[in-house]
Amino acid sequence: MLVEVRVDELRFRSDNIALVILKEADGDRSLPIYIGETEALAIAMQLEAVVVPRPLTHDLLCSVLSGLGGSLHKVVITKVEERTYYAELLVRRNGEIFGLDARPSDSIALALRAAAGIFASEDLLEAERLKISEEEGAGETMFGEVTLDIVQETSAENLEERLRRLNPEDFGRFKP
């Protein structure tokens, strides 16, 4: 069974890793997923409605889907294996729906741009709830190695400052 989730929180760490916390739309369960800073910035920019003069990768993919006669129907966070989460993009085209394997971070960024729903399997939410309960009982923090003193709040000013500091190389093998 699938449960609709939404981006509840986005936390940046000082080591170029971020944490996106998906929360059950009609409940209290959460699903924390570590993601890269670049993907986190793409999510934050959409959440903060930051307008850029040229399309970013996730904007481009939405345009390509549309140009090919398709649309993003929904995103499903499907499983976790060895601390790696997996997702699937469900694309609608010509009345058919087909799935594409994707990273959760990219999937979330696309879903936000396409106004598509984000879902997680009931099993994932339940497993995370049990894991959190066990960790809290053992006196550990909810997010393992994340220490809250290095987590920064995501605000418009913080996002703007991070965007100013970005270099083209931060997005991969870009060569001007």
pLDDT 10s digits, 116-170: 999 999 889 888 765 654 544 433 333 333 333 333 444 566 666 766 776 655 5
Is residue 176 assigned to a domain?
Answer: no
What's the mean pLDDT when you consider all of the chain?
81
- Residue 15 pLDDT exceeds 90: no
In a domain, 10, yes or no: yes
Token output for 34: 């570590």
What is the average pLDDT across 14-37? 91
Tell me the residue range of the domain where 157 lies: 2-171
CATH number of the domain that residue 76 is part of: 3.10.690.10
What residues contact residue 8 under an 8 Å CB cut-off, 6+ apart?
A: 21, 22, 23, 30
The rounded distance, in Å, linking the Cα atoms of 141 and 148 is 9
**With contact defined as beta carbons under 8 Å apart, do 74 and 117 qualify?**
yes
Which backbone phi and psi does 138 adopt, to 5 degrees?
-90, 0
Burial (CB count within 10 angstroms: exposed 0-12, middle 13-18, buried 19+), residue 110: buried
CA-to-CA distance for 12 and 35, rounded, in angstroms? Answer: 10
- Residue 13 counted as domain residue: yes
| The total number of structural domains that make up the chain | 1
Domain assignment present for 73: yes
In this prediction the pTM is 0.75
**What's the pLDDT tens digit per position in 55-86?**
889 999 999 999 999 999 999 999 999 889 99
- Gap between the Cα atoms of 73 and 70, Å rounded: 9
